[in-house]
Structure 1
């Protein structure tokens, strides 16, 4: 809203419990994937999800998604700047997640990693970032 210089009459501040519900909904929607986030609130008996419907309206979900940022956009380096980071917008979340994974996940001796089920010769920037941080 600040960037656009406008006020959104539909928006109201979010509370901690509502943010937890929003994050939980996203986890559930990642596990039980449907073609559209609106499908979880469908009136169709075989498509809609009563739990999702009871947590939050589709309009509120859309508004939180629209305004959720996990970085300070005011300090974002310019694209051509020397310190530009392609993952700037999610860098803090990645750093926090990696720290928590390292502190809390201790794999045992039997661990298998399946790198790919489908051949792909492209390159992901996130792979290079993680590789440079582990060295």
Structure 2
């Protein structure tokens, strides 16, 4: 999976270089993408007040090990060109068969496969909705004014009720995408 991200990121950056050259870009390596993904996880768990705090020289404010592995400028360049999937052949928005998750589908499917392969659930399972707070722009983001986090991505999860282990996930893409929808591991 990481090698695919390396290849897609470099391919996308090369395409963008033809449109507008960026002399500070150099192709990303496997170890850089691996570190970059790790940083994204750390940044999601340990939220800094300012993004630049992850690169402060004072260890009290930067205990994350990020600045030792990558500069802020390199992180910014990787973020600019980061790509997971080749979407150049994807169906256009508004057309039948358009996948709203095409940009992240390979990662989502890899996570689903690992969830299902690495755990044998008990006989009983439960399906519930989970909400992921998100303030960026998405067409399928839900707005719930009475909740503490008002803008969210709705995800249906199948979990083991004995320990809460999630065995499958499905991102809710809106009521207009019900035809041909997948029901947590089973095709309709």
TM-score by length of 1: 0.77
List alignment gaps of at least 5 residues for structure 2. 1-12, 132-143, 156-170
Matched residues in 2 for 1:103 and 1:87: separation?
22
**Residues 129, 154 of structure 2: 8 Å contact kept:** no
CA RMSD of aligned residues (A): 3.3
Q: Which residue of 1 is the match for residue 79 of structure 2?
A: 65
Structure 1 residue ranges, 4+ long, deviating more than 6 angstroms after superposition: 111-114
User: Larger helix proportion, structure 1 or 2?
Assistant: 1
From 78, 82, 85, the equivalent of 2:92 is 78
Higher RCO (C-alpha 8 Å, min separation 6)? 2
Matched residues in 2 for 1:51 and 1:100: separation?
27
**Residues 41, 48 of structure 1: 8 Å contact kept:** yes
Aligned CA distance change for structure 1 residues 92 and 50 (closer, same or farther; 3 Å) = closer
User: Larger strand proportion, structure 1 or 2?
Assistant: 2
Count matched residues: 133
List alignment gaps of at least 5 residues for structure 1. none
| Structure 1, 118-127 or 23-32: larger mean CA deviation | 118-127
Q: Which residue of 2 is the match for residue 37 of structure 1?
A: 51
Aligned CA distance change for structure 1 residues 103 and 57 (closer, same or farther; 3 Å) = same
From 19, 28, 32, the equivalent of 2:33 is 19
Q: Which residue of 1 is the match for residue 182 of structure 2?
A: 132
